[in-house]
């Protein structure tokens, strides 16, 4: 049986995620903020799911400081303090967020899914990630030209880019030009400018605003 931990700041959404996971036969431990990380470690999970929420105060502007504008970001950073979690696959679930809103240096995560848009991908990606060790690929500052997820790399320089969400690969030709191959694409690749892979923070997320109030036990509530 697959063991999965869900770290969440909202009781209602934590129950939704846990319900989806248990329907597929997984054993689930739900931890509301503030997180008891010792309990998480003792559970010996095969996968950790962290829910992230855009604060109401940041809906009409880009994310400025993730610690202040994203609920769940501080527990995500706290995972770095527990070395035993470094081999456990990490799935981020964003509500009202795009992956470009998440600083690439925040932590070594494996995949970001945006809800509700990616809800159909959730069961399959959970199954895939829970069967592998944590990816050694690093998160880059570039976005996939096919689905806009973060591209990953393994070399010292991010020139062998790959999207863990859709499978698109990107190769740099020089400092300004690159080619990419979407999943299932047959041919030499499509031309693209490197500048097109950079996240634009000029406009905020266009996803609908989250109106659900924090669940009982949450300490990272939205300030008035």
Could you report the per-residue pLDDT of 4-21, keeping only the tens digit for each? 999 999 999 999 999 999
* Residue segments in the chain with a per-residue pLDDT below the cut of 50: 201-224
Residue 50 lies in a domain: yes
Instruction: Please report how many Cα atoms fall inside a 13 Å half-sphere around the Cα of residue 86, on the Cβ side.
Output: 8
pTM of the model: 0.74
The pLDDT of residue 131: 87
Domains identified in the chain, total number: 1
Asked if the structure places residue 211 within a domain, the reply is no
- The distance from CA 195 to its chain's CA centroid, rounded to whole angstroms, is 23
Domain, as residue range, for 92: 3-197
Domain assignment present for residue 213? The answer is no
In-domain check, residue 205: no
Q: Determine, yes or no, domain membership for 223.
A: no
CATH number at residue 52: 3.40.50.2300
Look at residue 43 and tell me if it is in a domain. Answer: yes
Residues 58 and 101 sit within 8 Å (Cβ to Cβ): no
Domain assignment present for residue 208? The answer is no
Q: What is the pLDDT of residue 154?
A: 81
Q: What is residue 158's predicted lDDT score, i.e. its pLDDT?
A: 63
pLDDT for residue 210:
35
In a domain, 10, yes or no: yes
């Amino acid at each position: 049986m697959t063991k999965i931990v869900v770290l969440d700041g909202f009781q209602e959404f934590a129950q939704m995620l846990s319900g989806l996971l248990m329907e597929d036969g997984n054993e689930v431990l739900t931890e509301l903020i503030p997180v008891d990380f010792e309990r998480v470690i003792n559970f010996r999970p095969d996968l950790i799911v962290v829910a992230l929420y855009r604060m109401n105060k940041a809906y009409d502007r880009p994310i400025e400081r993730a610690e202040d504008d994203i609920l769940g970001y501080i527990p995500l950073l706290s995972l770095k303090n527990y070395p035993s979690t470094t081999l456990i696959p990490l799935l981020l679930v964003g509500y009202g967020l795009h992956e470009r809103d998440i600083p690439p240096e925040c932590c070594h995560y494996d995949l970001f899914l945006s809800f509700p848009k990616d809800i159909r991908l959730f069961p399959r990606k959970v199954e895939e990630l829970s069967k592998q060790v944590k990816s050694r690929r690093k998160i880059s500052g570039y976005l996939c030209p096919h689905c806009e997820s973060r591209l990953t790399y393994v070399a010292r320089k991010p020139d062998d880019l790959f999207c863990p969400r859709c499978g698109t690969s990107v190769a740099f030709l020089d400092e300004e030009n690159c080619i990419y191959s979407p999943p299932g694409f047959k041919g030499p690749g499509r031309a693209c400018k490197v500048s097109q892979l950079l996240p634009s923070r000029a406009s905020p997320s266009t996803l609908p605003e989250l109106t659900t109030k924090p669940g009982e036990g949450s300490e990272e509530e939205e300030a008035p």
